[in-house]
Structure 1
Amino acid sequence: MDIKQLIIDFLKRFKVAFNDEMHFIFKRFTYHWLLWILPLMIFMLISSIFSTGVLFDLPVGFVDQDKSSLSRQIIRDLDAGAHAHLINYDSGLNNGEKALAKAQIYALLYIPPNFEADVLSGRQPTPVLYYNALYYSAGLYSVMDYSGLIHELNSQYRSILATKIGISVPKLAQANFNYDGLFNASGNSMYFQQFSAVVHLLQLFVVTMTIHILGKLPRRTRPSYPFVLGKLAPYTLWYTMLLIFEIALLVLFSQARVAGNPFSMLTVAFFYVIAAQSLGIFLFSFTRSTIDAYSYVGLLVGLALTYSGVVVPELSMPWVARAISSIEPLTYALNRLFDLFLRHADVISVLKTCAILMIYPIIITVLVRKRLVKRLNREEVL
């Protein structure tokens, strides 16, 4: 049989399986759960968690041992910021430290005695702001306004001190920074996490659905690889459009400005879904039963979350973790989708990412082509 005939035979089997699956894709209640009910429920849950964007009015204690106009100004301005709500611990620094250790407050500001007098005399006293690093997000957000406040006071009192000693203040260099956050100019990491979670969780549903489809293939039909691909193709298109729909909702509600080409996003999402489906085929082929395949989905998704740069920045990983990150399709999909949001990613970079994602189905096809058919036959016997 020549190559042309092989291609024609492949396409015929693929088309038959595709058309057959399209007839009852939404006639099974389980499919509704995996195709849109659970994905959208989780999407709404994630959106509600991150709806405020940042953490506001976090309890922050202060101990003011100076009680001067300058110390009161610092406390008043920090309390006026969006992130911190100041609580007085005049009873003593020890009580404030105990409250910090018990997470009754997330940070503690200490202003030493003679603070204002030392500032005006040029002795550069240092107020100290501690935060509880065990509560990383809450602790970090509670001190977010402090650095800007101190910078403003330094600029103000620098001019006052210079006038008192009779010298002119040299003009500082001005640097203008222009950057685009993922969804807004604040560069809020909450939006980054929300976007990452949406892309990451899609892989969970794609892999689970792929295993489910393979475990439920009609027993009346002789299984073949073109037949399997035809059965999976409708779900490739569905999950691609679902991901684009969820990203569009994020853009709409977050008033994002997409720098790249939306069609390029669609292309990357399509190849990302194919790569995720190939992982589902791999799990199904190299396990003894469908239940065993399901049991490994959590491990696969956990590795993807840990080593894709969502939880830990890729540049801060040891080389072993980077090697694991380099074999995760989520890593490449996220990086390119972020580029399409933030920058005008060129066509070459998009095609490069799609080519990398296409390596997964090619390699897995070579590994499981014969084994998958045997595995499906064994599934019939079980």
Structure 2
Amino acid sequence: MTETAQAQQQTPSVFGREWARLRADFWDLGMLSWIPVLLCGILWLIFSAGIARDLPIAVIDKDNSTLSRQLTRWLDASPGIQVHEQVQASDQALQLLRERTVFGYLVIPDDFEKQLLGGRQATVQWLYNAQFSSHAGALSRDVRTVTTTLSAGIEMTARAKQGMSTIQAAAQFEPVRTQLNSLYNENISYEAFLTLALMPSMLQIFIVIAVVTAIGRELRDGTVPLWLASAQGSWLRAVAAKLLFPLIAYSALALLYLLFFSLVRDWAVAGSLVGLLLSMLLLVLAYCGLALLLIAATLSLRLSLSGAAFITAPAFAFAGQAFPLMAMPPLARGWAEALPLTHYLQLQTKYWLAGAPWSYGLKEMLILAAFAIVCGALGLFFLSRRANAPAAWGRT
């Protein structure tokens, strides 16, 4: 047997070498297993309540009448509101607002009952901390519901005293009625709205970091010749070994995430299950390709990790879930469209809760596939041309 053949026989396969590296490194293996599961679990726990309840407000009751006290009781009985404190003046309420003890306060005027019983309009003033849009939106909705209900009851009682039936009084009080029906997230649950979108947002961070770290360490430590030798000189095989385990691990985590919310949380996929599964696979492939291009372009573990943080960490803010894509300025919209996460979340929104057939997401699937193929091909090309030179090794 020749020395070359003996050396090849003693060199472990590139896949065995990568698996041995993962088993020997507790944190690298954790990046592909328990760490993302733990963080996703914490993320779900934060939003598991679904709907914000008992948000504190203050009330300034200048009237102190039967109707003003009834309004205060109804506010406190509303599921989303807790009347934390009744104060005497706006200065006290503003102090509570600045301390974030409450998120808004209602001012009931001193002629509240008199105006209502006299058949005139009474105005209550609702002031809230608009810095917290979620708090403000939920509280304003509930305050409006309570005041409207009280107003309607008073008006219908007055008309009933004039001899009108309840049906006639309701029709005259509200001749044009709006019937609101929420679709795809009937309870307006933050768990469905945010958790389903934030899980893939966290997953894409792990994918890029895992791939960049696996290849970047070979460059940093100068072990590229050993890595390439274990792949029998094939860059395609060498890169495939680096991508295989993240691809398997994060596809399994995406499937686990789907099973948890479908079976445990009872949010069955209303649309195309095949389309959603394919979208998840394409998301993982797209970010594997992006990570490969990132490390191949920089040949530096430090710069690649910085680039990964810059691209993936704020990606959710540009994904169109918190702020509409169509309302973004052109530059922000362009950056959003350049991120795979944006297109994946469009697919997830269509397939999971909206009940769309697979054909409705064909455009986004092709875009994700293009990310995976183009970024992956460019990354492989640059790596094979640049990474085998000693000048590329040893960078931090």
TM-score between the two structures when normalised by the length of structure 1: 0.86
For residues 300-346 of structure 1, give each alpha carbon's deviation from its aligned partner in whole angstroms, at most 9, with x where no partner exists: 11341221124433233222211111111101101111111222222
The SS at the match of 1:33 is helix
What SS does the aligned partner of 1:86 have? strand
Partners of 1:176 and 1:51 in 2: CA distance: 29
CA, structure 1 residues 358+138, in 2 after alignment: closer, same or farther (shift >3 Å)?
Answer: same
Shift, 1:85, TM fit: 1.9
- Residues 366 and 348 of structure 1: CA distance in aligned 2, closer, same or farther (over 3 Å): same
Query: Of the candidates 347, 370, 375, which is equivalent to residue 364 of structure 1?
Result: 375
Q: 2:74 aligns with which of 74, 77, 82?
A: 77
**Alpha-carbon spacing, 1:83–1:364, altered in 2? closer, same or farther (3 Å):** same
Q: 1:163-204 deviations in whole A, cap 9, x for unaligned?
A: 45566533645555444444xx31223431111111101101
Q: 2:62 is aligned with what amino acid? A: Q
Does residue 352 (structure 1) correspond to residue 349 (structure 2)? The answer is: no
Q: Does the C-alpha gap of structure 1 residues 258 and 87 become closer, same or farther in structure 2, counting only changes over 3 Å?
A: same
Counterpart for residue 37 of structure 2: 40
Stretch deviating more after TM superposition (328-337 or 164-173): 164-173
Q: Could you tell which deviates more after superposition, 68-77 or 119-128?
A: 119-128
Q: Which residue of 1 aligns with 2:53?
A: 56
1:99 aligns with 2:96: yes
8 A contact 2:293–2:380 mirrored in 1: no
Question: What is the DSSP-based 3-state SS (H/G/I as helix, E as strand, rest coil) of the residue aligned with 1:104?
Answer: coil
- 1:111 maps onto 2:111 in alignment: no
Structure 2 residue aligned with 1:127: 124
| Distance 1:51-1:223 versus aligned 2 partners, 3 A rule | same
Measure the CA separation in 1 of the matches of 2:278 and 2:23.
Answer: 25
1:262 to 273, 276, 285: 273
Structure 2 counterparts to residues 198-277 of structure 1, below 5 A: 198-215=199-216, 216=218, 218-221=227-230, 222-277=233-288
Which residue number in structure 2 is paired with residue 292 of structure 1? Answer: 303
Residue in 1 that maps onto 2:187 = 186
* CA pair 353-258 structure 1, distance change in 2 beyond 3 A: same
Quote the Cα distance in structure 2 between the aligned partners of 1:134 and 1:278. 39
CA positional deviation for 1:276 = 0.6
Could you say what secondary structure the match of 1:55 adopts? coil
Contact 2:274 2:358 in 1 (8 A): no
| Aligned residue number for residue 5 of structure 2 | none
**Displacement, 1:241?**
1.9
Structure 1 residue 369 displacement after superposition: 3.8
Looking at structure 1, the residues matched to 87 and 242 of structure 2 have their Cα atoms a distance apart, in angstroms, of 70
What letter is aligned with 2:91? N
In structure 2, the CA distance between the partners of 1:275 and 1:90, relative to structure 1 (3 Å rule), is closer
> Which position in structure 2 is the counterpart of 1:377?
388
Q: Tell me, in whole angstroms, the C-alpha distance in 2 between the residues paired with 1:17 and 1:261.
A: 37
Q: Structure 1 stretches of 5 or more lacking a match?
A: 1-15
CA distance in 1, matches of 2:87, 2:244: 67
Task: Quote the offset at 1:149 in angstroms.
Answer: 1.1
Quick one: which amino acid aligns to residue 332 of structure 1?
Answer: H
Which string of whole-angstrom CA distances, capped at 9 and with x for unpartnered residues, describes residues 43-70 of structure 1? 1111221122233322211011111211
Amino-acid identity (%):
24
Larger deviation, residues 170-179 vs 205-214:
170-179
Aligned-partner SS, 2:229: coil
One-letter amino acid of the counterpart of residue 290, structure 2? L
SS of 2:313's equivalent?
helix
CA distance, structure 2, for counterparts of residue 230 and residue 346 of structure 1: 35
Q: 1:90 to 1:232 in 2, by over 3 A?
A: closer
- 1:95-116 Cα shifts (integer Å, max 9, x gaps): 2222223322211011001112
Q: Which amino acid aligns with 2:107?
A: Y
Q: 1:70 to 1:236 in 2, by over 3 A?
A: same
The alignment's C-alpha RMSD in Å is: 2.6
Does 2:350 correspond to 1:339? Answer: yes
Change (3 A) 1:161 1:225: same
- The TM-score normalised by the length of structure 2 is 0.83
| Kept in 2: contact 1:17–1:228 (CA 8 A) | no
In 2, Cα distance between equivalents of 1:137 and 1:175: 24
Q: Report what 1:13 is aligned to.
A: none
